[in-house]
Amino acid sequence: MREREAQGEMDRRIDEVRRWVGAARRIVALTGAGISTESGIADFRGPQGVWTRDPAAEKQATIQNYLADPEVRIASWRARLDHGAWGARPNAGHAALAELERDGRLHALITQNVDELHQIAGNSAACVIEVHGTIRKAMCWGCGARTPMSQVLERVRAGESDPACRDCGGILKSDTISFGQALVPEVIERALRVAGEADLLLAIGTTLQVYPVAGAVPIAARAGAKIVIVNAEPTAMDEHAHAVLRGRIGEILPALLAG
């Protein structure tokens, strides 16, 4: 009985949010690791997260350690070879957001993820705001040159344990934001600006604990946007939400965004 009542309440909430989505014209989505875990990419701090299972791996994500210690870089390159992004495919949640853009109602997609699954699903590069960068490119810490990550990984497979930049000999890393590394001001400025332009903000698969990006939620709320949070667990911003939906993103998002 309780399960049926809970499901009935969930169905009513989804119907209500679907009406909000239908009336919105400037929808902004903010996505975190939760949408990608359903594609098989482990998060960092969850029960089966990368750092939960291997606390030493967190050291690789600190820029000072990475730049100073060749052994940290060697371990990082080995880990990149086996990163879950290479075999992952977009799930139904990614597909629903791509369809929303094709409908002309997705104003912007802010993502904390570095896997580019949104673009693979069909979202345009112009729409996606990658606040933490992308693992699919490598960048040189010396000259700033960027190359496809696949090319550098081929060098690692061929025996280079710590490949250097072929332009200047500098240290290579993934084009992602590490601990201790500054965020790109223009990217953050754009992310917070579009949040203030939204008439509906969907926060999907994120605990909303990492700033400044988590600030997009109160910014959108102050601008009058409806706030909808879709996440498996409670978030730091639930109090700002007009609706909080718990469950699998790949099931809830298609139901919310269906035309």
Active-site positions?
A: 132
The answer to whether 176 touches 202, Cβ cutoff 8 Å, is no
* CA gap 6, 179 in Å, rounded: 40
The bridge status of strand 27-31 relative to strand 146-148 is unpaired
φ/ψ of 157, rounded to 5, equals: -65, -30
Query: Could you tell me which residues come within 8 angstroms of residue 33 by beta carbon, excluding any fewer than 6 positions away?
Result: 41, 43, 44, 46, 112, 113, 205, 206
* CA gap 92, 99 in Å, rounded: 10
